[in-house]
Amino acid sequence: MTHACIHSIGCANPPQRLTRAQWIEMASSVAPKSLDRAVILRLAERSGIDGRWCASAQEVGKPAFFQADPEGHGPTTSQRMQLWSSAARQMSTQACLQAIDRAQISARAITHIVTASCTGFEAPGLDAWLIENLSLSADCRRTNVGFMGCHAAVNALAIARDVILANPDAIVLVCCAEVSSAHLHYGIRLDQLIANTLFSDGSAAVIVARGDPDALPCIAGTHSILMPESASEMAWHIGDHGFEMTLGARVPEIIESRVGEWARNALAKHSLKVEDICGWAIHPGGPRVIEAVITSLAIAHESGDASRCVLQNFGNMSSATLLFILSELFERKIARPWVGLAFGPGLAGEMLVVE
């Protein structure tokens, strides 16, 4: 029987790291004068984030990407896409090279590449750029998972699994690259201020190929849910000055009410129960989302430790975040099985089962 296994994970970030205090200064510098700075301070304190990497942070000797704007708009979407392209290429190169090296394979051996991002687009895409710059085979098959949001890593891994099961000789490179800081909002809407506070930049890559499930984590399956009557609670639209996020206050409440039953039913298809899961990778949409999942599943508080650790040190890197958490489970040598859970616009949930 063929098993689609995770052979390695590589993670990368932009060069510029911001402490919480530095982030507050950056956010305050572009906030309207009518916004009380205390609001930014409170949101930062509640975020659970101590530091983050930020491609849009000012480099020494260079003008700031985000500057005070009396019109309250900031850079155009075109300018923001240029930042996304530059940063996504830089981070993804590092993450992919790390994953390839850790898997101890030749880049030329990769047969398929799956890329995911919701923070930028261009054509030819990041996939084509990586094929050329990593010296992958020119006939490498390409798939892009675009604009799905924070759960897109699960969608990308689902594609990789299907490829391996259909073609056991395939070797798949999955790469998620997000430059969330390109979309810093100008304005005083609370949900957009929360988005400013939570999101950050990162890229992660995974090598998926057949392997021994006793020695390597095996992607046993993925599961999806589109939560009824919740479409307006989380949305992500392309505006004239960046991508505009809508975050409803009910998101944690909806997740808490829906995730438990869905996850239990999905695990039953693998002859597993919630109590059997040793490692949890819960996408940290924010501290409240982690707690909502834990409450819904009735699992121990420490089940969210790996997720809180990544949130604290990296922020919410959208689709790349779940792969950073899986890497953390690797580092901590957490026994399997693992479950990954992530949520995005829709309100949609995606679940990854790793045995």
Whether residue 166 is predicted with pLDDT greater than 70 in this model: the reply is yes
Given this model, what pLDDT does residue 58 score?
75
Whether residue 70 is predicted with pLDDT greater than 70 in this model: the reply is no
Whether residue 33 is predicted with pLDDT greater than 90 in this model: the reply is no
Given this model, what pLDDT does residue 219 score?
98
**CB-count burial class (<10 Å; 0-12, 13-18, 19+) for 259:** buried
Whether residue 304 is predicted with pLDDT greater than 70 in this model: the reply is yes
Residues 22, 345, 16: CA angle, nearest 5 degrees: 20
**What's the CA dihedral at 147, 346, 327, 181 to 10 degrees?**
50
Model pLDDT for residues 210-237, shown as the tens digit of each residue: 999 999 999 999 999 999 888 888 999 9
**pTM as predicted:** 0.96
Whether residue 346 is predicted with pLDDT greater than 90 in this model: the reply is no
Q: What is the mean pLDDT of residues 116-125?
A: 96
Q: What is the mean pLDDT of residues 12-17?
A: 96
Whether residue 64 is predicted with pLDDT greater than 90 in this model: the reply is no
Joined tokens for residue 151: 């759960």
Whether residue 103 is predicted with pLDDT greater than 70 in this model: the reply is yes
Whether residue 328 is predicted with pLDDT greater than 80 in this model: the reply is yes
Model pLDDT for residues 125-157, shown as the tens digit of each residue: 999 999 999 999 999 999 999 999 999 999 999
Q: Predicted confidence band at 62 (pLDDT cuts at 50, 70, 90)?
A: confident
Compute CA distances 189 → 69, 149, 180, 185, 246, whole Å.
16, 21, 18, 9, 9
Whether residue 67 is predicted with pLDDT greater than 90 in this model: the reply is no
Given this model, what pLDDT does residue 60 score?
63
- What would you report as the CA-atom Rg of the chain, rounded to the nearest whole angstrom? 19
Q: Predicted confidence band at 29 (pLDDT cuts at 50, 70, 90)?
A: confident
Given this model, what pLDDT does residue 153 score?
98
> By percentage, how much of the chain surpasses pLDDT 70?
99
Domain boundaries, the chain: 4-210, 219-354
Quick one: 4-210 is in which CATH superfamily?
Thiolase/Chalcone synthase (3.40.47.10)
Given this model, what pLDDT does residue 61 score?
66
Phi, psi of 239 (to 5 degrees): -110, 180
Residues 6+ apart with CB under 8 A from 206: 6, 8, 9, 10, 99, 157, 160, 173, 174, 175, 323
Whether residue 76 is predicted with pLDDT greater than 70 in this model: the reply is yes
Domains 4-210 and 219-354 share a fold: yes
Cβ 28 vs Cβ 37: under 8 Å: yes
Given this model, what pLDDT does residue 143 score?
98
- Report the mean per-residue pLDDT for the chain: 94
Cβ 146 vs Cβ 319: under 8 Å: no
Residue 57 half-sphere exposure, CB side, CA atoms within 13 Å? Answer: 20
The fold of the 219-354 domain, in CATH, is Peroxisomal Thiolase; Chain A, domain 1 (3.40.47)
Task: Look at the alpha carbons of 146, 151, 157, 159 in this order and tell me if their dihedral is positive or negative.
Answer: negative
